[in-house]
Amino acid sequence: MNSRNDGPSIWSLIVEQFNDTLVLRVEQGSLTGESETVNKMNKIVPLDTYIQGKKCMLFAGIIIVNGNCVCLVIQIGMETEIGKVHRQIYVASQSEEDAPLKKKLNDFGEVLTKMIGVICVLYG
């Protein structure tokens, strides 16, 4: 396991469903964008629940800040939430369509090049 100041890092998606007195706090901001630690509980939720609503699951890349639990691994590799994000980034990088900002910058560059060319012809 990888560790930081607070505790061990989780490398697979796991469900905490075996501990009746679960007291577990995790830092999962790298995945969800949350700025504070999150309390986990042992209430089962459907797998299609949005990621912040999965209060009974731990994810690859999060860090346990406080507590302990008994867990069951239910997804690994590209099936974890981190794997899904990686897949989305890969698909987006394969797209040949330019982003709107890149299109605007390209258009601006073409106009600027033409203006500089005109100035050079007039004063050159």
| Predicted local confidence at residue 116, as pLDDT | 93
- Closest residue by Cα to residue 38 from 53, 48, 20: 53
Note the pLDDT of residue 112: 94
Cα angle: 38, vertex 20, 65; to 5 degrees: 30
pLDDT along the chain (124 residues), means of 10: 47 47 80 86 80 81 84 82 86 79 92 93 84
What confidence score (pLDDT) does residue 8 get?
Answer: 52
pLDDT value of position 12: 46
Q: What does the block give as tokens for 105?
A: 């910058």
Host domain of residue 77: 1-124
What is the domain count for the chain?
Answer: 1
CATH of residue 79: 2.70.150.10
